[in-house]
Structure 1
Amino acid sequence: MGRPKIPRRICGRPADACFKPNGIPMTELPRVYLAADEFEALRLVDFQGMQQQQAAQEMGVSRQTLANLVKSARYKMTDCLIHGKALMMTADNQEQLQQ
Protein backbone atom coordinates (compact mmCIF):
# COMPACT_ATOMS: atom_id res chain seq x y z
CA MET A 1 0.00 0.00 0.00
CA GLY A 2 1.44 3.36 -1.05
CA ARG A 3 1.63 6.54 0.93
CA PRO A 4 -1.48 8.71 1.02
CA LYS A 5 -1.43 11.77 -1.24
CA ILE A 6 -0.43 15.06 0.33
CA PRO A 7 -3.29 17.57 0.02
CA ARG A 8 -2.67 19.93 -2.89
CA ARG A 9 -3.74 23.54 -3.25
CA ILE A 10 -5.87 23.87 -6.36
CA CYS A 11 -7.05 27.34 -7.36
CA GLY A 12 -7.97 27.03 -11.04
CA ARG A 13 -10.99 25.31 -12.50
CA PRO A 14 -11.54 24.20 -16.10
CA ALA A 15 -14.10 26.12 -18.16
CA ASP A 16 -15.98 22.90 -18.98
CA ALA A 17 -16.29 19.37 -17.59
CA CYS A 18 -15.15 17.73 -20.82
CA PHE A 19 -13.67 18.36 -24.25
CA LYS A 20 -14.39 16.04 -27.15
CA PRO A 21 -14.02 15.84 -30.93
CA ASN A 22 -16.83 17.42 -32.96
CA GLY A 23 -19.36 15.24 -34.71
CA ILE A 24 -18.96 12.10 -32.60
CA PRO A 25 -21.50 11.32 -29.89
CA MET A 26 -20.04 11.11 -26.39
CA THR A 27 -21.37 7.57 -26.01
CA GLU A 28 -19.07 6.42 -28.83
CA LEU A 29 -15.88 8.01 -27.49
CA PRO A 30 -13.29 6.50 -25.19
CA ARG A 31 -12.67 8.78 -22.19
CA VAL A 32 -9.49 9.94 -20.52
CA TYR A 33 -9.75 11.50 -17.05
CA LEU A 34 -7.64 14.51 -16.08
CA ALA A 35 -7.42 14.93 -12.30
CA ALA A 36 -7.80 18.35 -10.69
CA ASP A 37 -4.17 18.38 -9.55
CA GLU A 38 -2.98 17.55 -13.10
CA PHE A 39 -5.08 20.40 -14.48
CA GLU A 40 -3.68 22.80 -11.87
CA ALA A 41 -0.09 21.77 -12.66
CA LEU A 42 -0.68 22.47 -16.38
CA ARG A 43 -2.37 25.77 -15.62
CA LEU A 44 0.52 27.00 -13.50
CA VAL A 45 3.39 25.76 -15.68
CA ASP A 46 2.07 25.97 -19.24
CA PHE A 47 -0.55 28.72 -19.05
CA GLN A 48 0.88 31.05 -16.39
CA GLY A 49 4.48 30.28 -17.35
CA MET A 50 5.72 29.58 -13.81
CA GLN A 51 8.96 27.73 -13.20
CA GLN A 52 8.33 24.23 -11.84
CA GLN A 53 9.85 25.05 -8.45
CA GLN A 54 7.56 28.07 -8.03
CA ALA A 55 4.49 26.12 -9.22
CA ALA A 56 5.32 23.29 -6.81
CA GLN A 57 5.44 25.73 -3.91
CA GLU A 58 2.13 27.22 -5.03
CA MET A 59 0.52 23.75 -4.99
CA GLY A 60 2.24 22.62 -1.80
CA VAL A 61 4.05 19.65 -3.38
CA SER A 62 7.65 18.77 -4.21
CA ARG A 63 9.14 19.80 -7.54
CA GLN A 64 9.39 16.14 -8.56
CA THR A 65 5.70 15.57 -7.79
CA LEU A 66 4.79 18.61 -9.87
CA ALA A 67 6.97 17.36 -12.75
CA ASN A 68 5.18 13.98 -12.57
CA LEU A 69 1.77 15.72 -12.64
CA VAL A 70 2.73 17.84 -15.67
CA LYS A 71 4.13 14.81 -17.52
CA SER A 72 1.00 12.76 -16.84
CA ALA A 73 -1.35 15.61 -17.85
CA ARG A 74 0.54 16.33 -21.07
CA TYR A 75 0.45 12.64 -22.00
CA LYS A 76 -3.32 12.47 -21.43
CA MET A 77 -3.98 15.63 -23.46
CA THR A 78 -1.79 14.42 -26.32
CA ASP A 79 -3.47 11.00 -26.27
CA CYS A 80 -6.86 12.70 -26.64
CA LEU A 81 -5.71 14.92 -29.51
CA ILE A 82 -3.98 12.13 -31.45
CA HIS A 83 -6.57 9.40 -30.93
CA GLY A 84 -9.78 11.49 -30.83
CA LYS A 85 -10.74 10.68 -27.25
CA ALA A 86 -12.86 12.73 -24.86
CA LEU A 87 -10.93 14.54 -22.12
CA MET A 88 -12.93 14.48 -18.89
CA MET A 89 -12.14 16.79 -15.97
CA THR A 90 -12.53 15.31 -12.51
CA ALA A 91 -13.74 17.49 -9.63
CA ASP A 92 -11.53 15.80 -7.04
CA ASN A 93 -8.04 14.37 -6.80
CA GLN A 94 -9.05 10.73 -7.09
CA GLU A 95 -7.73 9.05 -10.20
CA GLN A 96 -10.39 7.44 -12.36
CA LEU A 97 -9.78 4.48 -14.58
CA GLN A 98 -9.71 5.09 -18.29
CA GLN A 99 -12.68 3.44 -19.94
Structure 2
Amino acid sequence: MRPEVQSFIADGPLPDWDASEEEIDKRVRQLEAISRPVTAEEAEALAKCFGPDDCYGVAWTLLHLIETGPGPVPSVSRPAPDAGEWQHSLWRRWGSGVDDD
Protein backbone atom coordinates (compact mmCIF):
# COMPACT_ATOMS: atom_id res chain seq x y z
CA MET A 1 0.00 0.00 0.00
CA ARG A 2 1.35 3.41 -0.95
CA PRO A 3 2.43 5.85 1.78
CA GLU A 4 -0.16 8.45 0.74
CA VAL A 5 -2.98 5.96 1.29
CA GLN A 6 -1.48 4.77 4.57
CA SER A 7 -1.30 8.37 5.78
CA PHE A 8 -4.96 9.01 4.96
CA ILE A 9 -6.05 5.78 6.64
CA ALA A 10 -3.90 6.44 9.71
CA ASP A 11 -5.86 9.64 10.39
CA GLY A 12 -9.08 7.61 10.70
CA PRO A 13 -12.54 8.25 9.32
CA LEU A 14 -13.47 11.55 7.76
CA PRO A 15 -14.57 14.13 10.32
CA ASP A 16 -18.13 15.39 10.51
CA TRP A 17 -19.46 18.84 9.68
CA ASP A 18 -18.36 20.13 13.09
CA ALA A 19 -14.66 19.67 12.25
CA SER A 20 -12.43 22.67 11.88
CA GLU A 21 -11.71 24.08 8.45
CA GLU A 22 -8.06 23.13 8.96
CA GLU A 23 -8.93 19.48 9.60
CA ILE A 24 -11.17 19.28 6.56
CA ASP A 25 -8.55 20.98 4.38
CA LYS A 26 -5.93 18.52 5.64
CA ARG A 27 -8.09 15.54 4.65
CA VAL A 28 -8.74 17.06 1.21
CA ARG A 29 -5.00 17.53 0.67
CA GLN A 30 -4.42 13.92 1.72
CA LEU A 31 -6.96 12.68 -0.82
CA GLU A 32 -5.50 14.87 -3.54
CA ALA A 33 -2.05 13.38 -2.86
CA ILE A 34 -3.30 9.89 -3.77
CA SER A 35 -2.75 9.26 -7.46
CA ARG A 36 -5.38 7.39 -9.41
CA PRO A 37 -6.12 4.55 -9.89
CA VAL A 38 -6.03 2.92 -6.48
CA THR A 39 -5.30 -0.77 -6.03
CA ALA A 40 -7.90 -3.25 -4.80
CA GLU A 41 -6.17 -3.34 -1.41
CA GLU A 42 -6.19 0.46 -1.18
CA ALA A 43 -9.85 0.70 -2.22
CA GLU A 44 -10.73 -1.85 0.46
CA ALA A 45 -8.93 0.17 3.14
CA LEU A 46 -10.27 3.52 1.94
CA ALA A 47 -13.85 2.20 2.02
CA LYS A 48 -13.54 2.07 5.80
CA CYS A 49 -12.68 5.77 6.07
CA PHE A 50 -16.11 7.35 5.67
CA GLY A 51 -17.32 9.45 8.58
CA PRO A 52 -20.78 10.16 9.96
CA ASP A 53 -21.77 12.59 7.18
CA ASP A 54 -20.52 13.83 3.83
CA CYS A 55 -17.92 16.15 5.40
CA TYR A 56 -18.84 19.07 3.11
CA GLY A 57 -18.53 16.86 0.04
CA VAL A 58 -15.20 15.26 0.94
CA ALA A 59 -16.93 11.89 1.27
CA TRP A 60 -17.88 12.11 -2.41
CA THR A 61 -14.25 12.73 -3.30
CA LEU A 62 -13.35 9.62 -1.32
CA LEU A 63 -16.09 7.63 -3.04
CA HIS A 64 -14.85 8.65 -6.48
CA LEU A 65 -11.29 7.75 -5.51
CA ILE A 66 -12.44 4.29 -4.43
CA GLU A 67 -14.23 3.93 -7.77
CA THR A 68 -10.90 4.19 -9.60
CA GLY A 69 -10.01 0.77 -8.17
CA PRO A 70 -10.13 -2.38 -10.29
CA GLY A 71 -13.47 -3.67 -9.07
CA PRO A 72 -16.04 -3.87 -6.31
CA VAL A 73 -14.84 -3.69 -2.72
CA PRO A 74 -15.69 -7.06 -1.14
CA SER A 75 -16.12 -5.75 2.41
CA VAL A 76 -18.83 -3.22 1.59
CA SER A 77 -21.87 -4.12 3.65
CA ARG A 78 -25.48 -3.05 3.37
CA PRO A 79 -25.92 0.32 5.10
CA ALA A 80 -28.57 0.95 7.72
CA PRO A 81 -31.76 2.59 6.40
CA ASP A 82 -30.83 5.86 8.13
CA ALA A 83 -27.24 5.88 6.81
CA GLY A 84 -25.97 8.80 4.77
CA GLU A 85 -26.46 9.11 1.04
CA TRP A 86 -22.81 8.29 0.28
CA GLN A 87 -23.08 4.99 2.15
CA HIS A 88 -26.02 3.96 0.01
CA SER A 89 -24.18 5.09 -3.11
CA LEU A 90 -21.16 2.99 -2.23
CA TRP A 91 -23.44 0.01 -1.61
CA ARG A 92 -25.19 0.46 -4.97
CA ARG A 93 -21.96 0.96 -6.86
CA TRP A 94 -19.59 -1.40 -5.08
CA GLY A 95 -21.68 -3.64 -2.85
CA SER A 96 -24.69 -5.39 -4.24
CA GLY A 97 -25.09 -3.32 -7.35
CA VAL A 98 -28.79 -3.23 -6.50
CA ASP A 99 -30.57 -0.64 -4.39
CA ASP A 100 -33.45 -2.38 -2.68
CA ASP A 101 -34.47 0.43 -0.29
Do both share a fold (TM > 0.5)?
no
TM-score range, shorter chain: under 0.3
Which has more helix, going by share of residues?
A: 2
Task: Work out which structure has the larger RCO, using CA pairs closer than 8 Å and 6 or more positions apart in sequence.
Answer: 1
TM-score (norm 1): 0.24
Which has more strand, going by share of residues?
A: 1
Q: Which has the larger radius of gyration?
A: 1
